[in-house]
Amino acid sequence: MEMPAVYAARIGSQPDRSSIDRLLAYLPPDKQARIGRFRNFADAQRTLLAEIVVRNAIVGTTGTDNRSIRFDTNCYGKPYLKNSEYFNFNISHSGEWVVFVFGHCAVGIDVEQIGPIDISLAERYFSPLEYSSLMSHDPSDRIACFYDLWTLKESYVKAVGKGLSIPLDAFAILIGRDGIRMEGGGPERYFFRQYGIDAGYRLSVCSAKDEFPACPVLLNAEDECVSFIRHCQEGTGYG
């Protein structure tokens, strides 16, 4: 796999409690507990689907059985697959969508549902160059442009693996006719790509290599759950 693989899954219809419990039973106890702590059912649903999509990708790509999958986090909290330097991944979810990227190099992904926002937040979190660019747009376009910049910046700090320990105003993302480029940041060079999966969302991907698929692979959430259970029943599951 030379370039990152990008996947997107819409949550779809709400599963019943028994289906949720059946899926949870194939996850390790710490994952079950984490998902069980969510008070908002939609948050639990998104997190569960994200876990299933990741595990399906690991089983299908590395041949590791589900029971042998072990995750850890770096000192900034970014999860990674233990004992596999070639499987770098990142997950994001918002609203009805769960998105996922994996590849041989450092990768990051962010999806956000577009909604009302106080545009003055841009002056607080964006660099002066970004803020100036944002405010140069027509007022009717600024909200969408805000989410473009926000998801791009989030995808970068997630790819680097340091999260919000990197101040968002410490670097600038510039979107032009010739593509997307970054000013500032660390010495390593990173590249960006945006995808349109839904008019009401913004999806951005960051990678240490300038290679991206033409479009995300759209997954069916129900099919992912069925595949996960099948893996488990065939002896590659956790339970």
pLDDT, one tens digit per residue, over 21-30 is 889 999 999 9
Task: Quote the pLDDT of residue 235.
Answer: 65
pLDDT, one tens digit per residue, over 124-153 is 999 999 999 999 999 999 999 999 999 999
Average pLDDT, the chain: 90
pTM of the model: 0.92
Task: Quote the pLDDT of residue 179.
Answer: 92
Q: What is the CATH number of the domain that holds 201?
A: 3.90.470.20
Q: What total number of domains does the chain contain? A: 1
Residue 73 near residue 61 (C-beta atoms within 8 A): no
Task: Quote the pLDDT of residue 233.
Answer: 83
pLDDT, one tens digit per residue, over 54-109 is 999 999 888 888 888 999 999 998 999 998 878 899 999 999 999 999 999 999 99
User: In which domain, by residue range, is 129 found?
Assistant: 5-236
